[in-house]
Structure 1
Amino acid sequence: MTQRILITGAAGGIGTLLRPRLRRPGRVLRLLDIAPLPPPQPGEAVELVHGSLTDPEVMDAACRDVDAVLHLGGYSRENSWRETLSVNIDGTHTVLEAARAAGVGRVVLASSNHAAGFREVADAGPGGLPADSPPRPDTYYGVSKAAIEALGSLYHSRFGMDVVCVRIGSCFERPADVRALSLWMSPDDGARLFEACLAHPAPGYRVVWGVSANTRQVCSPTEAAELGYLPEDDAERFAAELPPGEQHRYLGGPFTTTPLGIPN
């Protein structure tokens, strides 16, 4: 039986990294973005959908015959309040509503460490900051991620939808700075985590951290491990290559001093 997974924001950074890593026999990836998407490679089982996640008609069509949604779409940095509200918050509502109407039973939402960006790193303790630490957003972007977590909770409680919110630390091929040595999630570990979110028989509603098995971990690995996530990578192997720096006081690092509403 074919499994069909809709990925919003598939042309973005994380979507691009996950596309080859989520290929499986018997699985079709339905890729949606307003930006151009690379054409299918030989043997690649993908369906390309060009359109905006803020468009209810586009989302209704994209969710038909879908088994799960990985919602990665939206602004990934600070933007104006109007744009953040329209795309990240209202757009996520549009995605969830289309999934509900289509009978999609599982949605994985890309949240962010910036939903809790004003949590102090020193408060992590030996077990790390719990994944469901109450929001302390550091930007309008962080507010939008706290809001989509709340929307996910609502759609689980009201409609019984399984919703996993992944508070992503930093997902790139390699960590960019000293702060990322704590928060990095390798693309391979990102695929392992999203596979765990898709495979768990009944996750219900939960929030998990999206990070690798980093030596300088400040985020609790417990909640993601309960889904079956077993990270294999550690940012520490890049430490010697990075310029000197210090861990920020707050989890959100430089986002805590970013001017609000200014695109970056």
Structure 2
Amino acid sequence: MSLQRVLVTGAAGNLGRLMRPRLARPDRILRLLDLAPLDPPAPGEQVETVTGSLTDPEIMAAACADVDAIIHLGGLSREDEWSRILAVNIDGTHTVLEAARAAGVPRIVLASSNHAVGYRKVGEAGADGLPGESTPRPDTYYGVSKATLEALGSLYHERFGMDVSCVRIGSCFEKPADVRQLSLWMSPDDCARLLEACLATETPGYRVMWGVSANTRAVVSLREAQEIGYVSHDDAEYFADQVPPGELPEYIGGAFLETPLGQANPL
């Protein structure tokens, strides 16, 4: 049996921890990279671990050796000072892509964010929802870093033929926490389904898509994700009676629009 080796950056982060058991397969080795400690392998889980920063070119060169695909989840996950956003999220993504190019890795999935288009108005695209390919309107330095991640992915596809999927994640937690997340939530199981679709698509290209579940209150489109085979099984509406009452924000970015630029945001 031929084994597929997939490098996952940010494997010790919240999303990395959610995805690790869901991406494990008998025919796959997960190479897990993070600065933080990683949990030991579960029974039957095939993993390799790399301790280090995705901003370190030598670490990334070693991590990319003999890899079939990369799922890039690493980086700062909220607003922070510009120098840190630049070093980790922007320069770090360039380091990951350049290491992948040098190693001949053919496919990479980049974790983008709704905050790349945070200043898009909810409902501006009509009933079909905001397309995944909408041009950026970032709401923070963090959002700028995700728009830049998408642009770097486009460059590496066009220049080097790498298959690049940029996933604008809404909110991926076990369950939605507020009214906004009833529209933008993606269940962890659906997230894994979308990542698998990105890894399996037979048509190499560059694509930007929304990472959300098939929510009853959806304000974004699943068209681009569905075009590569993604089928959502979940809906945030199941949790609607557990969410505090409130109003859907005017803008996609929600409370991030009120975050002072460069200040760490606990959201």
The bucket for the TM-score relative to the shorter chain is over 0.9
Taking the aligned partners of 1:24 and 1:61, their CA distance within structure 2 comes to: 23
User: Does structure 1 conserve the Cα–Cα contact (< 8 Å) formed by 2:123 and 2:130?
Assistant: no
1:172 matches 2:168: no
Taking the aligned partners of 1:124 and 1:203, their CA distance within structure 2 comes to: 28
TM-score by length of structure 2 reads: 0.98
Q: Give 2:93's aligned residue.
A: 92
Alpha-carbon offset, residue 22 of structure 1: 0.5
Moved more, 236-245 or 91-100: 236-245
Q: Give 2:219's aligned residue.
A: 218
Q: Following superposition of structure 1 onto structure 2, how do residues 117-196 of structure 1 map, counting pairs within 5 Å?
A: 117-196=118-197
Alpha-carbon offset, residue 41 of structure 1: 1.7
1:222-256 superposed Cα distances (whole Å, 9 cap, x missing partner): 00000100001000011111111000000000001
SS in 1 for 2:154: helix
User: Does structure 2 conserve the Cα–Cα contact (< 8 Å) formed by 1:120 and 1:249?
Assistant: yes
Q: Give 1:21's aligned residue.
A: 22
Q: Give 1:52's aligned residue.
A: 53
SS in 2 for 1:206: strand
Taking the aligned partners of 2:63 and 2:222, their CA distance within structure 1 comes to: 33
Alpha-carbon offset, residue 203 of structure 1: 3.6
User: Does structure 2 conserve the Cα–Cα contact (< 8 Å) formed by 1:174 and 1:238?
Assistant: yes
User: Does structure 2 conserve the Cα–Cα contact (< 8 Å) formed by 1:164 and 1:203?
Assistant: no
Alpha-carbon offset, residue 158 of structure 1: 0.3
SS in 1 for 2:128: coil
TM-score by length of structure 1 reads: 0.99
**Aligned residue identity for 1:71:** H
**Aligned residue identity for 2:242:** E
Taking the aligned partners of 1:232 and 1:55, their CA distance within structure 2 comes to: 38
User: Does structure 1 conserve the Cα–Cα contact (< 8 Å) formed by 2:108 and 2:165?
Assistant: yes
In structure 1, list runs of 5 or more residues that go unmatched.
none
SS in 2 for 1:77: coil
Taking the aligned partners of 1:17 and 1:41, their CA distance within structure 2 comes to: 14
Alpha-carbon offset, residue 164 of structure 1: 0.3
User: Does structure 2 conserve the Cα–Cα contact (< 8 Å) formed by 1:112 and 1:142?
Assistant: yes
Q: Give 2:36's aligned residue.
A: 35
Taking the aligned partners of 1:187 and 1:59, their CA distance within structure 2 comes to: 26
1:27-79 superposed Cα distances (whole Å, 9 cap, x missing partner): 00000001111111221100011000000000000000000000000000000
Q: Give 2:202's aligned residue.
A: 201
**Two-structure CA RMSD over aligned residues (Å):** 0.6
SS in 2 for 1:126: helix
User: Does structure 1 conserve the Cα–Cα contact (< 8 Å) formed by 2:162 and 2:204?
Assistant: no
**Aligned residue identity for 1:225:** Q
Taking the aligned partners of 2:35 and 2:4, their CA distance within structure 1 comes to: 24
SS in 1 for 2:8: strand
**Aligned residue identity for 2:198:** C
Taking the aligned partners of 1:20 and 1:130, their CA distance within structure 2 comes to: 30
Q: Give 1:241's aligned residue.
A: 242
SS in 2 for 1:137: coil
Structure 1 consecutive aligned stretches of length 4 or more whose deviation exceeds 3 Å? none
In structure 2, list runs of 5 or more residues that go unmatched.
none
Taking the aligned partners of 1:133 and 1:82, their CA distance within structure 2 comes to: 27
Alpha-carbon offset, residue 192 of structure 1: 0.2
Alpha-carbon offset, residue 102 of structure 1: 0.3
Distance 1:203 1:219, change over 3 A: farther
| Percent of aligned pairs sharing the same letter | 72
Taking the aligned partners of 1:227 and 1:203, their CA distance within structure 2 comes to: 10
User: Does structure 2 conserve the Cα–Cα contact (< 8 Å) formed by 1:156 and 1:162?
Assistant: yes
SS in 2 for 1:53: coil
Q: Give 1:75's aligned residue.
A: 76
SS in 2 for 1:28: strand
